[in-house]
Amino acid sequence: MSTKKDKRNVGAAVVGLGRGRAHVKALLRAEGAELLAVCDKNRQAAEQVAAEFGVDAYTDLGELLKREDIDLVHVCTPSGLHTEMLLQIAEAGKHAITEKPLDITLERIDSAVEAFASRNLHLGCIFQSRFIPAVRKMKQAVDEGRLGKLVLGNAHVKWYRTQEYYEQSGGWRGTWKWDGGGSLMNQSVHTIDLLQWMMGPVESVVGLTQVRAHQIETEDLGVALVKFRNGAFGTIVGTTAAYPGFGTTLEIFGENGGITLKDNKITAWKIRGENMEAEEAEMLKNLDPAVDSTFLQIQDMVDAVRFNRAPQITGREGRNAVEIVLAIYESSRTGKEIRFPLKPGH
């Protein structure tokens, strides 16, 4: 087994080789990173990926964490397993980045964040949509106040997933125990994160959820009305029952204009008093929606470890979208408007 690495590089491992394959490929490209090992409870999957990329294979996280040459662990397992693994990783003195959501309850998220903070370790959470050039352009305009006082923000995820999608990979998707929810917690959480990133903290939500087109425990349709702390309103729609799929839309409107994003492309940019024709043409030409945003975030995480700085999206940042989703679920169960912050127990 290899245990030697170039000390100039960050020794990395990936746990969970479904979504984790994208992390493996990103680490192989990342400057200052050295992929050393992969881990999956399915021995055949672990050994296959390890052989393909010339790294070591594990089926037990504890064994992997004994290696002194591993600095950073990527957690890409089902959502409900994240904190259990993160606590092991922190105890072993390693940094970590986890797939979204960081976990499925606020208590677990908080315990993971504290475990890393108390040991001066870095914890990141994958929300790669924040690294898409068009999204960053949109965020910059909002932060610069070019839209004026914010009025309305909409996050709509109208996707389709087959029943087979929920049954594959051990059937963890669409379960409360492992997925923590359905179309809101799994598919829509990226866009919900962007909504609160643009619009600011949420004050309250009123939501409804149901199962319309699948045989699953959790929702395949969720809607919510959102009130932000700044007084603006918003809407959230998240579904996997919109055959054959109608994409993702993020809209931000202010008193002086608005910007809309459709499937990572800016489709409208209208701001009072600005001559946007030339800028809009140049912007749309240069903002590639196909950019590998996962790679950009993983490079940022590698750099955070290399240069001992916080990643751009910390574990604490990963909490916000989960709190919104959990509030929608509570509102749907109780029929009440749910105010923030949520009470303990979520």
CATH number, position 135? 3.30.360.10
The total domain count for the chain is: 2
Looking at the chain, the whole-number percentage of residues with pLDDT higher than 70 is 92
> 244 preceded by cis ω (within 30°)?
yes
Residues 235 and 326 in one domain: yes
Do 176 and 308 fall within a single domain?
Answer: no
- Please indicate, yes or no, if residue 70 is contained in any of the structural domains: yes
Whole-angstrom Cα distance, residue 86 to residue 310?
Answer: 17
Domain assignment of residue 122, yes or no: yes
Pair 98, 152 in one domain:
no
| Three-class DSSP category at 95 | strand
Under 8 Å between Cβ of 72 and 97: yes
Confidence class for position 6, pLDDT limits 50, 70, 90: very low
Residues 170 and 181 in one domain: yes
In Å, how far are 115, 328, 337 from 334, measured between CA atoms? 33, 10, 9
Tell me, what's the pLDDT at 208?
98
H or E segment and range at residue 281: helix 277-286
Say yes or no: 208 and 334 in one domain.
yes
Instruction: Please give the average per-residue pLDDT across 36-63, as a whole number.
Output: 97
Selection from 304, 266, 269 nearest residue 286 by Cα: 266
Q: Please tell me which of 2-6, 117-121, 272-276 the model is most confident about, judged by mean pLDDT.
A: 117-121
- State if pTM tops 0.85: yes
* Residue 87 and residue 139 in one domain: no
169 compared with 14, residue with greater pLDDT: 14
Residues 123 and 212 in one domain: no
pLDDT of 170: 87
Q: What is the CATH number of the domain that holds 26?
A: 3.40.50.720
Find the range with the poorest average confidence among 82-91, 271-280, 297-306, 336-345: 271-280
Boundaries of domain holding 282: 130-289+321-339
Predicted confidence band of residue 3 (pLDDT cuts 50, 70, 90)? very low
* pLDDT at res. 344: 61
Q: Which tokens belong to 297?
A: 């975030």
Q: Is residue 5 part of a domain?
A: no
CA distance 340 to 334: 15
From residue 133, how far is each of 128, 140, 156, 259, 312 by CA, in Å? Answer: 11, 10, 20, 14, 15
Tell me: do 235 and 335 sit in the same domain: yes
Q: What is the pLDDT of residues 86-144, one digit of tens each?
A: 999 999 999 999 999 999 999 999 999 999 999 999 999 999 999 999 999 999 999 99
Whether residue 346 lies inside any domain: the answer is no
Task: Say yes or no: 308 and 330 in one domain.
Answer: no
Whether omega for the bond prior to residue 78 falls within 30 degrees of 0, making it cis, is: no
Q: What are the backbone angles phi and psi of residue 254, rounded to the nearest 5°? A: -130, 180
Inform me whether the pLDDT recorded for 336 exceeds 50: yes
Write out the DSSP string of 126-183.
Answer: --GGGGSHHHHHHHHHHHTTTT-SEEEEEEEEE-B--HHHHHSGGG-TT-TTTTSSSI
Residue 260: how many CB atoms within 10 A of its CB? 17
State residue 169's pLDDT score: 84
The residue among 39, 174, 122 whose CA lies nearest residue 311 is: 122
Q: What CA–CA distances, in Å, run from 260 to 3, 87, 137, 174, 268?
A: 49, 39, 11, 30, 5
Q: Do 216 and 184 fall into the same domain?
A: yes
pLDDT score recorded for residue 287: 65
Q: Is 262 helix (H, G, I), strand (E, B) or coil?
A: strand
Q: Please confirm whether the linkage preceding 101 is cis (ω < 30° from 0).
A: yes
State the average pLDDT over residues 188-210: 98
Q: Phi, psi (5° rounding) for residue 188?
A: -95, -5
- For residue 330, is it within any domain? yes
C-alpha to C-alpha distance for 195 and 126, rounded to whole angstroms: 16
Residue 5: pLDDT band (50, 70, 90) is very low
Return phi, psi of residue 79, to 5°. -55, -40
The pLDDT of residue 343 is 77
Q: What percent of the chain has pLDDT over 90?
A: 90
Residue 16: CB atoms within 10 Å: 25
